Every structure is written in structure tokens, then in C-alpha cells.
């Protein structure tokens, strides 16, 4: 089968590999129908994910059809259309039982697919702990509608969930990239009084205005004054930082009102500075970290009910055979790309 493979720093290549087989009783083999490219894939390509193993198939956003299951898999059966969760988790350990599945103590716990074990930019993928790692796609939901459920949409959903948003709140979202927009979709479900999206790219600001009327968009240089003008208590009640730059990290705490919740979703290339003397008395609550991707079933229900639609994010589609071109467009943000879908015939 064809599999897009991490060869070495700076180099991915489409290679022929054997179709994966069941290794463990809880494994499933999924025939991938649609996959996508994530910024984390680019981090692997650029060598900034030390855990990534050369030779592995990349890709951790995908949907497909269950082809085969191990004897301990009860949640899905061959023939089921499924979303694949970016995170592998055992469901049994201390962290899994608390819902902190990102910190699953299993050796493959957390982000393994397409990083430490073969992922889904391929024709088939082996999914460990398939009872937790796969969710059935409702009949009225298409593959394209479900494509982001296991990764960026799970992240947006989790970010909105932990941010304790109320209907009285002014919510500031920093970043309108794919994960920022997924976060926006999930924040919209909480119906806060105001939502402000801060994004430096005018094309992406326009995308937000076109698709989500009622959401205020601003450029970073005007963020502080805009947030103050649109909030009652001198700043945003809730801030979600989904951009991952030094400037947006600073804006996250600057734009927050005293006693606000600041949820940091972004992944940074380097350490950030919290100037505690300047922040003294602001009494902020920071929430940080990687998605606990265990709400996929609920997210799929919301999609089936028409409450979340991420299909406008798919601006480009390529066959797997042309995935290198898909990467080129995504990596260099050509043609106003937001997300690229990669389909298998
Ligand atoms: Zn990702
Ligand atoms: Zn676990």
C-alpha cells in the first residue's frame, strides 16, 4: 500500500509498505478513506518532534472503514465507518479514568499515531486500543463532515469545555487557523455574549466574517483596545490562545480581565515568559496542555444534529498519490488554504 513516510528531517516520501496486520487483541485495521494534514505533521517534518520515529507513516487526522478487528474489540465491527482518535489511550489507568486521556500511562498513550507508530496518510492504518480510538460515524454524517473529529475539532471542543464559558462572557480567541476556527465553533455552542477573534492574516479574518456573522475580528495590534471596548470589566472574561506566537501569548494575559480564565491550546516552538510582577494582582487562572480527546462521540452527535460544521475549512482535496503537492500548499499557505483533505480512491 502507499504510505506517506517520515524519512529524515526535512523529508517525507510516498513509499510502498505492507498492509498493517492485527498485532494485539485490541487492534483494529482501518481502510482510510479520507485523511488530512495537520500543523503537527509539519513539526515532525521540521524535526521539532524528537519523539517522532524515522520510517513511520505520518498522519493522525483520518476517517475510514473498519476492515478487521482483534478479538477484544467490541466497540466497532468490520464495515463500520469510523473516525480515528489522534490519541491512543488504554481507558484503564488513573489518568484515563479521570478523563485525562492525553496523559494515559500506556507506553503508546497520548499522541502515537503518525508520530511514534504508523499513522493514517496511507491506505490502511492499525489503530491500537480500538475500543477507545475509534468512533462510529452516524449514517447522516459524511466522511468530510467527520474528518476533524479526532484531532483539531476534539481540541477545540476540549478547549471550550475547560474554559468555563458562560452566556455573560466576552470570549477572546487568539488565532483563526484551523484549530482556532474549530475552537470558535465549539465556543459558539456556549453562546457567550461576545466573541472576538484575533488573527493577523486578513484572509482568515475575512473567512471568519464570511462564515460566522456576529463574531468580531481584529488584527493583533488592535486587540487590547478592541477587547477593552467590548467587555464590561476591563478585559475578556475568557481567553483561548490558539495561535502559538510570543505576541499572542503576551496578548492572552494582557487582554484578560482580572480573575479571567486563560486557556492555552497552542503549541510553542520555544519557552514563553510569564512576567509575574506585571501580572501581580490580576489573579488569572491558566489552563494549558494537549487535548484530552475523549469526547468524539458527543462531537459526532453535534455534527449529526447540524450544530457543528467544519466542512468550510476543507479548501483543497488531493488524491493520496499527490500528497506531496497537498503538503506544499498547506505548508506554504498557498491559495488561501485552510485545510487539505487527502482522499483514497
Ligand atoms: Zn494534529
Ligand atoms: Zn490510560
Whole-number Å distance, alpha carbon 263 to ligand 2 midpoint, is 24
Residues 68 and 118 placed together within one structural domain of the fold: yes
Residues 296 and 276 placed together within one structural domain of the fold: no
Whole-number Å distance, alpha carbon 150 to ligand 1 midpoint, is 9
Per-position pLDDT tens, the chain of length 345: 999 999 999 999 999 999 999 999 999 999 999 999 999 999 999 988 999 999 999 999 999 999 999 999 999 999 999 999 999 999 999 999 999 999 999 998 999 999 999 999 999 999 999 999 999 999 999 999 999 999 999 999 999 999 999 999 999 999 999 999 999 999 999 999 999 999 999 999 999 999 999 999 999 999 999 999 999 999 999 999 999 999 999 999 999 999 999 999 998 878 999 999 999 999 999 999 889 999 999 999 999 999 999 999 999 999 999 999 999 999 999 999 999 999 996
pLDDT computed for residue 48 by the predictor: 85
Whole-number Å distance, alpha carbon 68 to ligand 2 midpoint, is 23
- Domain with residue 195: its CATH number is 3.40.50.720
Residues 267 and 134 placed together within one structural domain of the fold: no
Residues 258 and 138 placed together within one structural domain of the fold: no
Residues 158 and 277 placed together within one structural domain of the fold: yes
pLDDT computed for residue 260 by the predictor: 98
Whole-number Å distance, alpha carbon 111 to ligand 2 midpoint, is 12
Whole-number Å distance, alpha carbon 278 to ligand 1 midpoint, is 34
Q: Which domain holds residue 127?
A: 2-151+292-343
Q: Among 246, 268, 288, where does a domain finish?
A: 288
Whole-number Å distance, alpha carbon 59 to ligand 2 midpoint, is 22
Ligand number nearest to the C-alpha of 119: 1
Please count the other Cβ atoms lying within 10 Å of the Cβ belonging to residue 203.
12
Please count the other Cβ atoms lying within 10 Å of the Cβ belonging to residue 76.
21
> How does strand 28-36 pair with strand 124-127?
antiparallel
Of 141, 127, 109, nearest in space to 62 by CA = 127
- Domain with residue 38: its CATH number is 3.90.180.10
pLDDT computed for residue 163 by the predictor: 98
213 CB burial (10 A radius; 0-12, 13-18, 19+): exposed
Residues 283 and 163 placed together within one structural domain of the fold: yes
Residues 95 and 143 placed together within one structural domain of the fold: yes
Whole-number Å distance, alpha carbon 283 to ligand 1 midpoint, is 32
Residues 142 and 159 placed together within one structural domain of the fold: no
pLDDT computed for residue 289 by the predictor: 85
- Give the count of domains, the chain: 2
Ligand number nearest to the C-alpha of 43: 1
Q: Among 250, 271, 288, where does a domain finish?
A: 288
pLDDT computed for residue 267 by the predictor: 86
Residues 277 and 322 placed together within one structural domain of the fold: no
Residues 116 and 167 placed together within one structural domain of the fold: no
Cα separations in angstroms, 324 against 3, 13, 233, 320, 342:
12, 8, 49, 9, 10
Residues 48 and 183 placed together within one structural domain of the fold: no
Whole-number Å distance, alpha carbon 132 to ligand 2 midpoint, is 10
Q: Among 288, 305, 332, where does a domain finish?
A: 288
Amino acid at each position: 500500500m502507499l504510505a506517506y513516510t517520515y524519512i529524515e528531517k526535512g523529508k517525507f516520501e510516498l513509499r510502498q509498505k505492507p498492509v498493517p496486520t492485527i498485532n494485539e487483541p485490541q487492534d483494529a485495521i482501518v481502510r482510510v478513506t479520507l485523511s488530512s494534514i495537520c500543523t503537527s505533521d509539519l513539526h515532525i517534518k521540521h524535526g521539532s518532534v524528537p519523539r517522532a520515529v524515522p520510517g513511520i507513516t505520518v498522519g493522525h487526522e483520518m476517517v475510514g472503514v473498519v476492515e478487521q478487528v482483534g478479538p477484544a474489540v467490541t466497540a466497532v465491527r468490520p464495515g463500520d465507518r469510523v473516525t480515528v482518535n489522534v490519541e491512543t489511550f488504554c481507558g484503564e489507568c488513573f489518568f484515563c479514568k479521570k478523563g485525562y486521556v492525553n496523559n494515559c500511562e500506556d507506553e503508546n498513550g497520548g499522541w502515537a499515531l503518525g508520530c511514534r507508530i504508523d499513522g493514517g496518510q496511507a491506505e490502511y492504518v492499525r489503530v491500537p486500543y480500538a475500543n477507545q480510538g475509534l468512533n462510529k460515524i452516524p449514517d447522516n454524517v459524511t466522511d468530510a463532515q467527520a474528518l476533524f473529529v479526532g484531532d483539531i475539532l476534539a481540541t477545540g471542543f476540549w478547549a471550550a469545555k475547560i474554559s468555563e464559558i458562560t452566556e455573560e462572557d466576552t470570549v477572546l480567541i487568539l488565532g483563526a487557523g484551523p484549530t482556532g476556527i474549530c475552537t470558535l465553533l465549539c465556543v459558539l455552542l456556549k453562546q457567550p455574549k461576545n466573541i472576538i477573534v484575533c488573527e493577523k492574516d486578513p484572509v482568515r479574518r475575512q473567512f471568519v466574517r464570511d462564515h460566522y456573522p456576529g463574531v468580531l475580528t481584529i488584527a493583533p495590534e488592535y486587540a487590547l483596545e478592541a477587547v477593552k471596548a467590548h467587555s464590561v470589566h476591563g478585559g475578556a472574561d475568557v481567553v483561548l490562545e490558539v495561535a502559538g506566537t510570543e505576541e499572542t501569548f503576551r496578548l492572552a494575559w494582557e487582554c484578560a480581565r482580572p480573575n479571567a480564565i486563560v486557556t492555552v491550546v497552542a503549541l510553542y516552538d520555544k519557552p514563553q515568559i510569564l512576567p509575574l510582577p506585571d501580572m501581580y494582582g490580576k489573579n488569572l487562572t491558566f489552563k494549558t496542555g494537549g487535548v484530552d480527546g475523549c469526547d468524539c462521540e458527543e462531537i459526532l452527535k453535534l455534527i449529526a444534529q447540524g450544530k457543528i460544521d467544519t466542512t468550510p475549512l476543507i479548501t483543497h482535496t488531493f488524491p493520496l498519490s499527490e500528497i506531496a503537492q497537498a503538503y506544499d500548499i498547506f505548508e506554504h499557505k498557498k491559495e488561501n488554504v485552510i485545510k487539505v483533505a487527502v482522499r483514497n480512491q
